[in-house]
Every structure is written in structure tokens, then in C-alpha cells.
Structure 1
Amino acid sequence: MSSTTQTNRLTKEEYRRQKDLDAARKAGTAPAAIDDEGNEINPHTPQFMLNAPWYVDTGKVSLKHQRAPEKRKGPKFGPDDNYWYARGKRVGPAATKYRKGACENCGAISHKTRDCVERPRKKGAKWTGKNIQADEIIQEADLDWDEKRDRWNGYDPKEHDQVIEEYNKVEEARRSAKASELDKEGPTTTQEAKKWAKQNKTGQLSDDEDNGNEDDDDDDKYADQADMPGQHVNQKTRTTIRNLRIREDTAKYLLNLDTESAFYDPKTRSMRDNPLKDKPEDQVSFAGDNFTRYTGDAPEMAKVQMFAWQAGDRGSQVHLQANPTQIALLHKDYEAKKDKVRGSTQKGILEKYGGAEHLESLPKELLLAQSENYVEYSRTGRVIKGQEKAKARSKYEEDVFINNHHSVWGSYWSDGKWGYQCCRSFMKNSYCTGQAGIEAQQSSAQLLQ
């Protein structure tokens, strides 16, 4: 019977006395209630915590239903159980006859046929009665929530002895191999030469020196495994090999201190433009990140990325980073088909309109500017005998002046602007004003000053 039912059956007088008693207990003028275990109950505990559910209600005021069940003390498995499950153990010798209810495959009665881990036989032990396996030990393990999820539960520390033994053998073999190698090569440094000579003289080293050698061995042992950025230690030659940018390299922003030379992004440490534009690219060590970006396989990679985007827009389920092999094969097929279509289109145009003879290559003597005409030159370059080679002329018209000009555009330069020399006008295709325009420009400049 729950306490709620008892409270509902109380009379008004009893209910008033119960309320006064609860108020007195909260005020500290009345002693606290005692549960069935003899413990005091805090009067400020809410009523919904004091009321026990109907399936654990004993009719007495108690907080026992709020406490976790007590765990069994002591080990669950003893020495007879090997402190854990009897893994791989059998009950006894195998049976000689097949027993009813046993596994039809191996004949063991400790498991069913569907749970058998033996190799499936062509004819099971039920029909042959041969090679019947022994029964396994079925052990009940009452594990709580934490024990079931403990990754080290059931671990035998003796298994680690095999790891230590194997490590000691490998370490001993490594030391003996290194000792034989040092004997063949001889000492490599002054300190090792002294130790080597002392060892040959006395036959053994002191404890301090021996410990020092072990420390050096440990350093060498972990040197190859060290993942240091920018360097790699070669254990045999005791040298450091740098394979990344060293700190002694000049920073990009120090190549040209002019603030207008090129923009440097300190966050990404990138300088896309060339900071030394006045020098040719073959004479500078750094020509900008864009110069490096557009060399090698980077342009080809950009083409593949563009092809992936275009294919995705057309509905193809391709992605360069998710499946690079697929997109590479698709791009290769696309280029092959594109070349085939281009070749067929060109062939069709030539068949329809003609002109295939113009696409044939010229003779080698014409390509290399060679001919049968004999020309003899002097040391100064003057033609002595034969016809002089004609100078190559531009395909554009030369010495053609427009709009009454007497000079071409770009013949005058001032204040970072190009213009005409005849009238000093900076407006292209303007009408020439001649000397009058020059005087007007000078007078306006004097007025501005």
C-alpha cells in the first residue's frame, strides 16, 4: 500500500497533525523521521522522492528504492576459473558415439549446429560417427555494465612477456650488428676513436662510458623514426639532410622592399606577382607564386578541375577530390573524342573547299632560311659578292601619319604618359595642333604653378 493511498485515507485532523509535524521537522523543533534501516530522513526531501513505486513499496518510509543495488564484493572468478573464462578448455575426452541433441557437424553437445565453428564436413558426425569433438566448458559470466564494456577485461598480463622477450632479442641483434659494423668501419669521430682505442687496450669500458654508448645507441635508434619538419637524420653518416625550405632563405617580402612592387599576404605567406619585374625570369630566384602555379602539371590539373565542374553542371555524378581516377579517365576519353571530332571537321572542310596543299610543310632549306644564292660578306658585315638578303618587313604599314601628325603615337613620354612628339598631345587619335599646341600647354602649366 503506497504512502499516497494512506495520505488520502487520513482524516482532516490526522492530515493537519501530519502537516504540523512536517513543518516542525523542517524548522528543527521535532526529530527527523527514521527509515527501516535506522537512518534519518532529511525533512526537506521532496514527496515524490519519498514515495516508492508500487512494485517496490514496502509500506514504510524509506529511501532504499533511490539507492543503487549493492555490488557483489570479491572476485567473480577464482584460480579454478583461471581468473577469467575457461577459453579453449574442454570438459574431458571426446565421446565415442553420437549423442542425441548434439551438433550434427562435429558431435559436441555443448552447442548447436548453427553455432558450430568447425569446418563444415561433407558428412557430419551425426551420420559418420567419426571424429567427434570434445565438449567445451560453458561458463556463466555475470558481468555488470562497466565490465561488459571494459576493453581490458579478461586480459592476461603474462601475454606481454612474449612481447618483451621478442623486443629483447631484436635489441640484442641490433647491438651486435652495429658493433660488427663499427669494427669494420673503424671510429668516425674523435670521441669514438678514444673509446675504441681504450676498449681495444683494456678490453672493456667503464660503467659511465658504457652508459654513454647506450644513450648514443638510443639516439641513433630513434633518429630514423623522428619526424622533424625540414630535416632527416641519416644514422650511418650522422648527417642532417634538409628537404624543405630552410630558415636561412630570404623571405619573399624582402626581395624587393618597394611597397608597390608586389602584394604580399602574410596570412598565407604568398606573393602571387613577381616582385622583380625589371629583371628577366631566368635571373631571379623567385618569380611569384603564379609563375610556379602555371608550370608543370598545375595547368593540366586546372583543366581537369574545369572539366569536372562542367560535367557536374550537365548532371554527371563526378568529383575530382572524391574519385580522381574516374575524372582522369573521363577527361582522357573526352580529349580523345574532341581531337577525333576536330580532325573529322577539318577533313570535311578541306574536302568541301580544298586548300590541303597550303597545309603541307615547307622545305627544310626554306624553313632554315637557306638557299642556293651565294653571298660573301666582309668583316664589317658589308656585302662583297652576291645579292644581299632582303630585310624582313613588318606586316603593318610604316611611316603612316594620321590627323596631320608628323610623328607616331608613343614618340613622346612625360609624367608616366605616352603621346605625340609633334604636338605633345597625350590623347590618342587627336588632331595635331603643332607648335601652337605645345605653347598652349606650356602656358597652362605656368598658370597652374
Structure 2
Amino acid sequence: CGAMTHNAKSCMERPRKIGAKWTNMHIAPDEKIESFELDYDGKRDRWNGFDPATYALVIERYEARDEARRKYLKEQQLKKLEEKNSKQNGEGGVSEEDDDEDALKVDEAKVDESKQMDFAKVEKRVRTTGGGSTGTVRNLRIREDTAKYLLNLDVNSAYYDPKTRSMREDPLPDADPNEKFYGGDNQNRLSGQALEFKQLNNYNVIKEKLKSRLKDIIAEKYGNAASEEEIPRELLLGQSERQVEYDRAGRIIQGVESFLPRSKYEEDVYINNHTSVWGSWWKDHQWGYKCCKQTIKN
């Protein structure tokens, strides 16, 4: 193509039969190459080269969508009110007060447009701590029923927890069970699957206790190598500071003779008329009796 800013391999033009180098015709212009000298932070800036003015298009698109949504909701509400007014006028039994009220509703719908956006409504938070999920308060008591905390106004009556809306004890323990509609939250603890859940929980507690007891028995019998107790120096290094002196006959002159640790098995028990214990003889990788050199225990 004749440009001086790239080589033939990087050229994006259509290949020519005879290059511009030989024909000296239709020479392509050189590309404009910008060089940036960025510092350490500039090379690693993820927003390098971003134009904030382009975000105005996104804002315009969202505003247009919100405006169309508000207009649609307003038209739907006005349509419903007009149908209601025409239906009542057709029946002919509408009072002047109803006409004024419907006209006022239509005017309010025309004036107040900002409240028609479905995403602008405020939802109540139910039992949330530090920003939990939002939702409408539902499945509560009927408004005509008396609140549980108003059944008994005595100060010493059943305690009502306003945070969880629970009252575990019966606020009216002396009343007839057939006449009262609420007897405390504890009456639900023995109904449905609550009893089965309680049995499973008790089984889990008993199982954990048995596992802990078995663990303690094994550790008491065989010891616990993972304990934080310090290992005695005699066992750790196989040596101690004890010093014993003997005479020529093998008697102890100074010090105390070391005692061999006793085994958990029975010692000095001679069976089958042997004069030595089993394990006192070793030959050819077999244990036996030292008295008769027998390698069969029984």
C-alpha cells in the first residue's frame, strides 16, 4: 500500500498485483500513531480511556423508560376510574358525594405522577438486623381480633416479646379452654412435627455424650498423644540425670537402681510347668521360653 507505519505482514489493505513500491501510484496515507507515556498507576488503571460523557446516553435511556412507565400507569388508573364513573352514571343511583369523591381521585391521579412508579413503593422490613430481606408484613392476626398482649393487662402476666411477637405462656390460664382462642405459644410445641423434632434433638444430644464418653475412656486407657502436657525428659531423650555407682561384685555403692516399668500384662506367671515366662527367648524371629527353648506358647 505504500504506508511507512507498518510492514507488509501487518497491512490491512487489499493485496495488489504490483505493489505501490514499484508503481508509485495510489500510495496509502500513514496511520496516526499516538504514544502515551503512562506511569505505574496509569498503566494499571482499569478506567483508562473511558469517557464519562458517554454515560449520559445510559441515563437518558433509563429516564425515557421511567417516563414511559409512569405514563402507562397513569393511563391505566385514569381508565379504571372513568369506567367506574360511567358504570355508576349508567345505573343512575349515584349521589353527589360519590361524584365529588371520584372526581377528586381522577384529579389526584393526574397531579401525582411520581407515586405511580411501581419501584418507588416502600416495603416494610420484617425481623431484619443489619439489612435483611424485605417483604410485606403478612400472615399476622386479623385486625378485628384482640392482640395477644391485650388479653391480660396484669403486669405479672405472661411476658410478650415485641421483637419476635411471641408470648410463650398462657395469658389467661384460669379461663375456659373452649372459650379462649389463644393459649400461648407453648401449646404448639407438642403439636405437629415439634415432638418429632424434639426427639431427634434429644437423640443427637445423647449420641454426642456417648461419643465424648467413649473418647475419654480410650484416652484414659491408651493415653492421648495430642495432649498439651509436656512429655517427660526421660521418655523424650531416653536419658536422665540419675547416676548409679557399682562395686566389683555388682552391688550398688551410690545412687538408686532404676526400676523397670511394670507391664499391663501379668508378670512372673509360669504356665505349663515352665520356669521362665513367655517372651524370654528369641530365635529366628520367634519368641519362646528360655528354659526349654520352646517357641510354641501353649
TM range (shorter): 0.3 to 0.5
Normalising by the residue count of structure 1, what TM-score does the alignment of the two structures yield? 0.27
